[in-house]
Amino acid sequence: MSVGHIAVTTPAPAEPVISCETPQEECGVRDVLDRLGDKWSVYVVVELAAGVHRFRQLQRAVPGISQRMLTLTVRRLERDGLVKRTVYATVPAQVEYELTAMGHSMTHLIKALADWSIDHRGAIADARRSWDAEHEAP
């Protein structure tokens, strides 16, 4: 366990698991989860992991995203230092997006997430079905 701020997989006695200095600060975990939790960031990062993209190219690569949401998403990722944005002063305008080193380091995390999801999607779907079956309107 590299960092050890969180003790997991220990069905042991009940002790505080997060031992941040200030629990309210949430250890900065929230900062990451907010980015991962919004609807599009993960897909944009995954797409950019494949290489540099221009705006439209990125929008086409992420099916269903509106240009407003793409703008907001890449802005946030840029602000967090995960994505680098390069503007070329051409006509018409041209902008390229690529992951920073930190952005690339996060793709490992996303891959782990995706792997776990794929491995357990069936079990989760089954759990939901049986839960729904037991809790339907009487």
Partner DNA sequence: CAGAATCCACAACGATACTG
Partner DNA sequence: CAGTATCGTTGTGGATTCTG
The item of its own copies, DNA, none sharing an interface with residue 92, based on CB under 5 to 8 Å by kind, is: DNA
The least CB distance from residue 72 to its own copies, in Å, is: 14
The item of its own copies, DNA, none sharing an interface with residue 55, based on CB under 5 to 8 Å by kind, is: DNA
Give the residue with the Cβ less far from its own copies, 29 or 93: 29
List C-alpha distances in Å: 26 to 7, 33, 34, 36, 102: 15, 11, 12, 16, 21
Burial of 58 (0-12, 13-18, 19+ CB in 10 A): buried
Q: Does 138 bind its own copies (CB under 8 A)?
A: no
End-to-end CA distance of the chain: 48
In the three-class reduction of DSSP (H, G, I as helix; E, B as strand; rest coil), residue 45 is classed as: helix
Residues in contact with 9: Cβ distance below 8 Å, sequence separation at least 6, in sequence order: none
Among positions 132, 133, 137, 138, the unique one binding its own copies when judged by CB under 8 A: 132
Rule CB under 7 A: which residues touch DNA? 34, 38-40, 54-57, 64-69, 71-72, 74-75, 85, 87, 92-95
Full strand arrangement of the beta sheet holding 53-54: 53-54, 94-99, 83-88
Query: Between residue 15 and residue 74, which ones bind its own copies under the rule CB under 8 A?
Result: 15-18, 23-24, 27-29, 31-34, 36-38, 42-43, 46-47, 49-53, 57, 61, 63-64
The item of its own copies, DNA, none sharing an interface with residue 50, based on CB under 5 to 8 Å by kind, is: its own copies
